[in-house]
Amino acid sequence: MNKDLIAIAIDGPAGAGKSTVAKEIAKKLNLEYIDTGAMYRAYTLKVLENGLDPKNENEVLRLLDNTEITFLDNHIYLDGVIVDDKIRESIVNQNVSYVSSYPEVRKKMVELQQKMASKNNVIMDGRDIGTVVLPNASHKFYITAKPEERGKRRYKEFVDKGDTEIKLEDIVEEIKKRDEIDSTREESPLRIPDDAIVIDSTNLTVDEVVDLIIELIKGEN
């Protein structure tokens, strides 16, 4: 890692508000925001669109070498096509934990992420940023919230987009299942980095979390 560059690592479980918070901090501190979950989602989308089984590791790895995932102007591109909305669909939510559990998939994404952090001042969010991707990050945070609250936030996002079919209980269940897979997988499981500051956002607004993190960053300098 380039010591002259700023690297802020934000880890935590699904629906904790990491990406909303990280985007806002990126704007305020003029950093590049890198959503690493979106990268695993984009590859999951590719696996699904090609009719491959996300639970079959050999099938999943088949397309890895021929896949290009890039960020440009706050959009994510899969093989040159913007997939911002498609990667948020339920079918991707249900399968991304399987695809992201395979070591070869993680190796490719981590290399891409480290390359991005070697060129720009970044704020990166995910599950293994402070532990694996940027172990020497200048600042590390772990944002969490109770599963029921995280489920409510995801539910609101779907409802705001006009999805009336979705049920809150199903989302909370899916979040708990993802927590379980993400934190018990063998390869880079979700865990709190030793040197991270933990923020429980259950009873905090986005602005409160953003202000708190910026204060902590400034205080640490």
The answer to whether 76 touches 82, Cβ cutoff 8 Å, is yes
Q: Which of 108, 127, 150, 153 touches ligand DC (CB under 6 A)?
A: 127
Least spacing, CB of residue 25 vs ligand DC, in Å: 16
Q: Which of 7, 8, 14, 172 touches ligand DC (CB under 6 A)?
A: 14
Region binding ligand DC by CB under 6 A among candidate stretches 24-32, 33-41, 201-209, 211-219: 33-41
The answer to whether 50 touches 168, Cβ cutoff 8 Å, is no
Least spacing, CB of residue 40 vs ligand DC, in Å: 4
Q: Which of 42, 45, 97, 130 touches ligand DC (CB under 6 A)?
A: 97
CA atoms of 70 and 66, how far apart (whole Å): 13
Least spacing, CB of residue 10 vs ligand DC, in Å: 10
Residue 142 CB burial class (10 angstroms; 0-12, 13-18, ≥19): buried
| Segment 42 to 81, residues that bind ligand DC, using CB under 6 A | none
Tokens found for residue 188:
């880079």
Q: Which of 17, 54, 126, 130 touches ligand DC (CB under 6 A)?
A: 126
Region binding ligand DC by CB under 6 A among candidate stretches 36-44, 76-84, 143-151, 204-212: 36-44
State yes or no: residue 16 binds ligand DC (CB under 6 A): no
The answer to whether 7 touches 195, Cβ cutoff 8 Å, is no
State yes or no: residue 108 binds ligand DC (CB under 6 A): no
Nearest 5°: phi and psi at 56? Answer: -105, 105
Region binding ligand DC by CB under 6 A among candidate stretches 45-53, 56-64, 121-129, 143-151: 121-129
Residue 4 CB burial class (10 angstroms; 0-12, 13-18, ≥19): exposed
State yes or no: residue 128 binds ligand DC (CB under 6 A): yes
| Segment 146 to 185, residues that bind ligand DC, using CB under 6 A | 178, 182
CA torsion through residues 134, 136, 139, 145, sign: positive
Least spacing, CB of residue 68 vs ligand DC, in Å: 18
CB burial of 171-194 (b: ≥16 within 10 Å; e: otherwise) equals bbebbeebbeebeebeebebeebe
CA atoms of 98 and 80, how far apart (whole Å): 24
State yes or no: residue 37 binds ligand DC (CB under 6 A): yes
State yes or no: residue 36 binds ligand DC (CB under 6 A): yes
Size of the site for ligand DC (CB under 6 A): 13
The answer to whether 166 touches 109, Cβ cutoff 8 Å, is no
Q: Which residues bind ligand DC (CB under 6 A)?
A: 14, 36-37, 40-41, 96-97, 100, 126-128, 178, 182
